[in-house]
Structure 1
Amino acid sequence: MVLRKVLYFIWKLSMGSMATKSAFMCGGIQIHDTSCVLCGCAKETMDHLSTECTIVRAVWWHFCVWTKIPIMVDISSFRDVKEGIDRMKGSAKWKNVLVALAYETLWRIWKAHNDRVFEGTPFSVLHIVEAVEEHCSFGLKTEQHIKA
């Protein structure tokens, strides 16, 4: 079960309208430091925040281990994650579950990024992974209870 706010976020992401530092610069807003607030090594773009950042790659590594899918090493955008899932062997239902989990993971990455920017909260890979696992296990339990 994917929350509406997550679907809205994914829609905004697909439209290229996320509020990253590079997007602000393109919109004419002057920012002194455009580097990623998580790793500090690259320009903060949505592709960087969603897949390229070394810190975020650790989240995706945990995602792959948790879902027992091959480690995605050649991803440079969220579209690459979705396309990688689509190319995997397995039923359409399983792939839909993986995509929903990936959406939730990306939402949690974005939320943790914003918590870092606006509240100074440290970015924790394990906290993100645990939050996704907790949300998804709750969703599965709720779905099983409804079907019973």
Structure 2
Amino acid sequence: MGLLHRGVQLPGVACPRCGLKDEDPSHIFVSCLWAKCIWWNIFTCMRVPFPADVHSLVDIIEYISTQPGDESWKKAVYTIALATVSRIWYARNLKAFENIFIPISVTVDSIKEDAFIWISNRSKLKTIKWGNWLLFDFLGSM
């Protein structure tokens, strides 16, 4: 949609993944069925109930911030949310520009890997082990 507003001619503005709605940030990152499946899988891995009524990234971040947990847990969850947004955008661009579809399971695995690397290298939780991370038990590995 942003390109259309700038006068760039596009063959269509429908979501390249679902084809059901025009793309806008909320659809790309949250409302598209593909994106919802990604978020559902990520929330399941974190053992956080999936929020039923979210329509934007702001809604997701607000929902995460209301979940119980200490500061380390909330930072980890926020990092996972950032990794999720990054991978959704990457997968969207591959589909839109190169017609390469990345399956949900591959995207979820990539999100776990990205967040693990980010947290392992850029946080105080450097001693976290991959096996613990996959169980979202990063506090038990310290």
Structure-2 residue corresponding to 1:3: none
Q: Which has the higher contact order (CA 8 A, sep 6+)?
A: 1
What secondary structure does 2:102 align onto?
A: coil
Aligned-CA RMSD value: 1.8
Structure-1 residue corresponding to 2:127: 144
Structure-2 residue corresponding to 1:117: 96
2:80 and 2:97 map into 1 onto residues whose CA distance is 26
How many residues align structurally? 125
The equivalent position to 2:41 in structure 1, one of 39, 62, 72, is: 62
Greater fraction helix: 1
What secondary structure does 1:43 align onto?
A: coil
Structure-2 residue corresponding to 1:135: 114
Please identify, of 130-139 and 77-86, the stretch whose mean Cα deviation from structure 2 is larger.
130-139
Decide whether the 8 Å contact of 2:80 with 2:115 is kept in 1: yes
Q: Percent identity?
A: 24
What secondary structure does 1:40 align onto?
A: coil
Which structure 2 segments of 5+ residues have no match? 129-141
Please identify, of 45-54 and 119-128, the stretch whose mean Cα deviation from structure 2 is larger.
119-128
What secondary structure does 2:127 align onto?
A: helix
- Give the structure-2-normalised TM-score: 0.80
2:30 and 2:119 map into 1 onto residues whose CA distance is 26
Which structure 1 segments of 5+ residues have no match? 1-21
Structure-2 residue corresponding to 1:97: 76
The residue type paired with residue 98 of structure 2 is: E
